[in-house]
Structures are given as structure tokens and as C-alpha cells.
A = this chain, B = another copy of it.
Amino acid sequence: MIKEKKKILNDPVYGFINMPQGISFELIEHSIFQRLRRIKQLGLTYYVYPGAIHTRFQHTLGASFLMTLALDTLRSKDVNISNKEYQAAQNAILLHDIGHGPFSHSLEHSIIEGISHEDLSLQFMEYLNIHFNGKLETAIQIFKNQYPKKFLHQLVSSQLDVDRLDYLRRDSFFTGVSEGVVGSDRIIKMLNVHDNNLVVDAKGVYSIEKFLIARRLMYWQVYLHKTVVAADQLLIRLLKRAKELAAQKVSLFATPAFEFFLYNTVHLSDLKEKSGIQNYTVLELFAQLDDNDIIASIKTWINHNDYILSYLSKSLINRDLYKIELQKQVFDNKKIKNLKTKLQNDFSLNEEDLKYFLLEGIVSNNAYNPLEGNINILQKNGSLIDIAETSDILQLSILSKTIEKHYLSYPKGE
């Protein structure tokens, strides 16, 4: 009984939730999983929404809770799911974000060049599968969409996966943007399986519409909020500057694991190699990184004698962020030119260093999974129809388009 009790968790979003058992529980207790406690789900978003400091750990447990609800619903509709598959689906969702590093939406390509968090997730899954004597095999198959019952993969990754259902609701909860709330309860009750694919019962169509609209609202109000973009881009430039200095062998304070990735260029194929630090492989070293390393290191850079690094660090840490403009159109060349001249004068910058003071670029809703793949509605007569055709009100083609915005960001007062 005492054991039982251990496994109930208070989640502010769903209330009491049961922790998964057996190997899933062991997985959660592993240090590589526990590390997700130290990685915020939404990076620097808390600079706009102070409550948005929830972690990938919380999100993953939440998604795992929704997975049990979904699997139970499907079973109640006579979908055949063996106990082994049930557990594997659990593990697959527990592992789906395991490759995330600190501030991964911003730093994915800064810390480790050319390696996505999905690549890293797979590397970690294989690593853990060895540790767990091959018991994660089916979970990995599900994750890779190599398992025959495709709907299990779709629960982990698709237009209506439990990942999104949890993160939209959780991000909405912790940011306080209550309009983003998604009726995950009802959507899950409407899930069904048809020809091995995940579908939605006809009665659920309005809930799906609302889910799509809530998601869109969250993009613009949270994920691509202009101040969040300003903070993200500042962080990216800051890391870039640090790597630039590191490449020039300039000394930078950093925690050992972070130092390794600052001073070394790592490729996918290097992950299993020894890092030269203690006995760790590069992958194991990566597993030691979290938000604390980044922030603790940046804080010290405020005192660094490289003016640019110091300036950027100070701006970020003290939330004295750059001003940002965000628009659909390309920015006027003349405007940019004027800004450049002014910045060069005010900060005595050479051409080269301007890029740290005038941040230019494009942001898109890519990172947050636009609508690719469809959502099938199961009609009462047993036929399937795509939501894009059922819904007379939504222009769903819009949702599937990557929306891009141009930004221009520079110190206040310029």
C-alpha cells in the first residue's frame, strides 16, 4: 500500500494522477529522465508570462497520463491493445522528449550543430534500451512508426497526439492564457481507431475545431509573442558569440559539460565517442546539460571583457531586452541601413559585429508543428472524412501553411 501511494502525483493541471508502474516507473527514476526536471518547457517565455516555468518533466508525465486515458478509451471501444502494447505506448510517450536539451527551441542548432532533438531522442532511447536490457524495443518501434498498429504511433506523434493535448493545455495553464485551454477530456473520449489509424468520432468535430483555433491562438499569443522572440533571438546571438570566442580560444567560464560543447564541434556520429571528460561519452555529457548550466554561465559572462558578450549577457539576464519589430513584410532596406549607421556610431561597431546589435531574421510557426497530416473524422455511417472537408468554417489549408514573420531587433533607444 505504501508503494501504491508513492505513485500518486499531484498535478496542478489534472489533479491526482497515477504514476505509471513497472519499467515505466524505473524509466522515470533514471537520471536521464530526472534531468527533464531542470529543463523548462518554454525556455525564456517566462520573461513575458512569469508563470511559464513548467518543465519538460511535468509535461512528459502529463502526456503519459493522457496516454492512459486514451488507451483506456480505445479499449472501451473494443480496440485490441495488449498489455505489452499498453506499456510500450506509455514508454514511447515518456521518451518522446528525452532528447531535449536546455532552451532547445532556441539552442537546438547552437549547442550541437546539425543535430535535432529528435536525433538526440533516438540516441537516448537506444542508450536506455541497452540499460533496460532491450525492454524498450517495442516503445522505440512505436516511436519510429515501425510498429504495425499505427494508431499507437499516432497517439505519440500526429495532429492529435497526447503530446499536443498536454502541452497546449499545460502551456495555457501556466502562462495564464486561459483562452488556449483545450478540452483534452472530451477529445480523448472521442478518439477511435479505424483501419489501424487514429480517428475522431463524428460528435467530436466541434471540439477539434476548437482545438485547432486554441492552438493557433497559442502560437501568436505565446509561442511567437514578440517579446518571447526578442529574448530567444538574443539568446541565440549570445551563444553564437560565445562559440565564436571559444573558436578563438578565448577563455570563457562555463560548467564542464557546457564548456565541452562550447569548445568542440560535435556531429551526430560523435555522440558515442568518449568526450575526454572523465569517462563520459559525448552523449552522456550532453545528458548533464540543463537550464542551470546555461544561465549560471551566462551570468558570469556579464563580467567578461569581451564587450559584445558582456552586453548581450547583461541584456538577457537583467531582462533589459532589445526592442523588436515583427511583420509580414520584408523590412525596408533603407530603414535597416539607417539603423545600422546609427548603431555603428552609438556602439562604435565594425561591420562584422553589427549582427549582435541588429538582429534580423524570420520566425515561423514551424517549431510548433503546423498542420501536416490530416485528422480523420469517423462518420456515423462508418466512412472517414477529413476535418478539412467536414468543417465548413475553418480554412484549414491556412493552418497547414508555415507562417513566417520578419523580425528586426535592436537595443532600446535606437
Residues of A whose CB lies within 8 Å of any CB of B are 1, 4-5, 8-13, 15-16, 29, 31, 34, 37-38, 46, 49-51, 53-55, 57-58, 61, 76-77, 173-179, 181, 183, 185-186, 189, 203, 206-207, 209-210, 213-214, 216-217, 220-221, 253, 255-257, 278, 288, 290-293, 295-297, 299-300, 303, 317-320, 392-395, 398-399
Q: Which residues of B contact A210 (CB under 8 A)?
A: 179, 210, 213-214, 217
Contacts A292-B295, A393-B213, A395-B394 given; indicate if A12 touches B220 (C-beta within 8 A): no
A160 CB to closest chain B CB (Å) equals 15
Q: Which residues of B contact A10 (CB under 8 A)?
A: 49, 51, 175-177
How many monomers of this chain does the complex have?
4
Which B residue sits closest to A170, measured CB to CB? B51
Q: Which residues of B contact A394 (CB under 8 A)?
A: 393-395
A267 CB to closest chain B CB (Å) equals 25
Which B residue sits closest to A219, measured CB to CB? B206
B217 adjacent to A207 (CB under 8 Å): yes
A-B contact pairs, 27 of them (CB 8 A): A9-B50, A10-B49, A10-B175, A11-B51, A11-B176, A12-B176, A16-B186, A37-B50, A51-B54, A179-B183, A179-B207, A206-B217, A206-B221, A209-B217, A210-B214, A253-B255, A255-B296, A255-B299, A257-B299, A290-B299, A292-B292, A295-B296, A296-B296, A296-B297, A392-B398, A393-B394, A393-B399
- What separation, in Å, do the CA atoms of A4 and B76 have in the docked complex? 10
Of B50, B220, B256, the residue contacting A61 (CB under 8 A) is B50
